[in-house]
Amino acid sequence: MPKLYDLELSGNCFKVRLMCALLGVPLEVVPVDFLGGEHKKSPLIDMNPFGEVPVFVDGSVVLRDSQAILVYLARKWGGDAWLPTAPAEMAEVMKWLMVAENEIARGPADARLHDKFGYTLDVALARERAARILALMDAHLARKQWLALGRPTIADVACMPYVALGHEGGVPLAPYAAVRGWVERVKSLPGFISMPAL
């Protein structure tokens, strides 16, 4: 059974738990004492020298980074439905994984890190970035049900958590009706599981 070294309040760890739930993949969840710095010590630092969670282990495969883990889960257990192999369709999904890793991480996720966890960062800039990406997503989702391919893919799983948790960083979704509708569609997927504050 795959194993996830996990922090319950992490949106990135939640992406992995959610994807496994949607795919029906059994998962052993190992809580990490983040405040105690367990992720910076052996054995976790040996598995992920970046000193971050999630860390995902499936036999001899050890992966860090939630987007990379989503790609692995989709290819191993989800088939083309969640991550197609056709070049143009795969690129459509991948460009949203980059949004999750960049604009969403540096926008609503950073704002939440500041407000909820006390990280020192430029929260005004994070909220500016959040407003920009949410406006872009809202315009996109006003025309489409899902981010990438007219069906749920790992793009939606990668992008939804920190968007939906934005209220914990002073980034409410009230102005973005299409984004709110999309979040509800993700929550309605068979097998969906939640996390605190979602």
Domains of the chain (ranges plus CATH)?
3-78 (3.40.30.10), 84-187 (1.20.1050.10)
At 34 the pLDDT is 87
3-state secondary structure 42-64: CCHHHHCCCCCCCEEEECCEEEE
At 138 the pLDDT is 98
The backbone region for 51, taken as left when phi is positive above 0, alpha when psi lies in -120 to 50, beta otherwise, is left
pLDDT < 70: residue spans in the chain = none
At 147 the pLDDT is 98
pTM: 0.97
Q: What is the DSSP letter of 36?
A: T
At 4 the pLDDT is 98
Residue bearing tokens 């990438």: 148
Buried b (16+ CB within 10 A) or exposed e, 84-112: beeeeebebbbebbebbbebbbbbbbbbb
